[in-house]
Amino acid sequence: MRVSVVIRSKDEADRLRLTLTSLQVQTAQPQIIVVNDGSTDHTARVLVEAASLPRLLVVTHATAMGRSKASNAGAARANGDVLLFLDGDTLAAPDLVERHLAAHRDPAGLIGRGETYHVRKTRFLKDPELATPQPGHEARLAKLKPEEKDRLRVTRRQILCDFSAISRDAQPGIYPGAGPRRLYELEMDALVNHGDCPVLWAAASGNNLSVGRELFESVGGFDPDIDINEHRELALRLCQAGGCMGAVIGARTYHLTHRTGWRDPLRELGWEKKFTTKHSDPAVRLLPVFWASLSDNDLVPAAARISSLPGLAAASSADGAVGCEQIRRRIFESDARSSRI
């Protein structure tokens, strides 16, 4: 059994260089497929530098096609039995591939969610290795002493020789903040302790997600018309086809955060209408209520807050769904809906 790692990347060359370095030292070597989705920075040069990596394939889109189409394009070139999806700004722990591989040996049909962490200190950096600032943050970094600036770096040498130093700086959740951390904790709790919960597909992550290639192909891959929340929509179809969501404990990724660019499904809309039109499951419509319940706004009254995935399943019953619909509309009509989920 083999793993194919599919990396979607657009205009994150310096982070992609570090991501590829982290895959160079895996305890189980995967096939690596990078989809350069219309990058206009020096991603092409980084990929030339990485050409010596064994089993590396590059798919290049002249113009950006979006996450779903990029993911499908990479999966189409895969020859592994298991597909593992990563982003181009995310480090893989040295045993990431090995742990996903072991998880897929039993049971069949697993949809594996790994442990998603983030490295907050990189959020103002354009190049985490050189500690060059993101545009607009030059003055902030100029105030730092050399040793303070050095502590912000994430380098190829650390990845190759001292990955534990990176791990020590990391925190749970894909993004910084109380809301994303709480969501991560609730998702992992549901996967580990509530295996019979009918909405575990909602615990799928945008990266560090693995699935058998045959199961992925049987449902047609990612929906090309959905580019935010595409991972949850895929997971729902995979579960409907007989797949089973589960946590891959110890399989960690580390998002090298940047101050802008997170994908907030309560602000970046478009997915919502497509997702709800395609699926009649009431839990799909109540996902925004669940996310807003974890944020610090007052859009969801205390009595109506959904505080867990089993709670989301309960609220999706006929009576609960009707009671939450008005709250859902209020969330999408508000300017205070951000949750960074």
What interhelical angle do 271-278 and 282-294 show, nearest 10? Answer: 140
C-beta of residue 181 within 8 angstroms of C-beta of residue 295: no
Q: Which CATH superfamily is domain 3-120+171-256 in?
A: Spore Coat Polysaccharide Biosynthesis Protein SpsA; Chain A (3.90.550.10)
Q: Is the pLDDT of residue 324 over 80?
A: no
What is the pLDDT of the chain when averaged over all its residues?
Answer: 90
Q: What pTM did the predictor assign?
A: 0.93
Nearest to 192 by CA among 255, 113, 290: 113
Structure confidence at residue 341 (pLDDT): 47
pLDDT tens digits, residue range 223-257? 999 988 999 999 999 999 999 999 999 999 999 99
pLDDT tens digits, residue range 21-62? 999 999 999 999 999 999 999 999 999 999 888 899 999 999
Structure confidence at residue 117 (pLDDT): 97
Structure confidence at residue 340 (pLDDT): 47
C-beta of residue 169 within 8 angstroms of C-beta of residue 255: no
Distance CA 34, CA 16 (A): 9
The CATH 3.90.550.10 domain(s) of the chain lie at 3-120+171-256
Structure confidence at residue 285 (pLDDT): 86
Distance CA 115, CA 173 (A): 8
Number of H helices, E strands in the chain: 15, 11
